[in-house]
Amino acid sequence: MRSAIPLGGQWEAAGTSRPLFLLRRLVLAATVALVIATAHTSPAAGSLRCVDGSADEASVAGSDEGPPHFSAAFLRRVVSIEASTDGLVDKTLPISIEAVCGLPRALTKQGAQLAGGDGIALVSSRTSVWKDGIGLPASRKLIELDGADTVRMRGRLLPPASWQEDEDGNPVPTFTTSRVVITD
């Protein structure tokens, strides 16, 4: 007759080692997945595609061909914009667009129409404003935006029918903003 004692010399109830074995495999698989994820980031996550308004890639908005045209896909897209500001006027922030970032390759030509031109950023009560890594309270955000020189903002371009006018009465690309980071 064979002994029922396992080679390790310890008695165990049937099936008690299986959960421990599965837990070890799960931890190992999670560790391997984490190492792979940190080692192989996608190109889109590592660097945003930006259109900066240089002469070889941009045609300034409002040129001789009339106002720029944008597809419905572009109007749905939330983009990052680096811009210079010119003071806050009644919750509208006049901007000079320096770069449009976060666009897929198929939309870069449309983004180039904005880069190098002027625009207006609409600031609402839902817009979060950040300076030096700190989110500003509602009582300070309009004051800080009024004194800002440069910003990086996330927003969506409104359809041309909703654009606001500049001092000459010409329609200017207008953005709704969800986040504004004061960079200077």
- Report the 10 Å Cβ neighbour count for 82: 19
Residue 43 has pLDDT above 50, yes or no: no
CATH superfamily name and code, 48-182: Copper binding periplasmic protein CusF (2.40.50.320)
What integer pLDDT is reported at residue 8 of this predicted model? 58
Domain coordinates of the chain in residue numbers?
Answer: 48-182
What integer pLDDT is reported at residue 32 of this predicted model? 75
Residue 33 has pLDDT above 90, yes or no: no
What integer pLDDT is reported at residue 39 of this predicted model? 55
Do the bridges between strand 92-101 and strand 128-131 make them parallel or antiparallel, or are there none, so unpaired? unpaired
- Residue with more model confidence, 158 or 22: 158
For 129, half-sphere exposure in the C-beta direction (CA atoms, 13 angstrom radius) is 23
Spatial CB neighbours of 102, under 8 Å, sequence gap ≥ 6: 48, 49, 77, 78, 79, 80
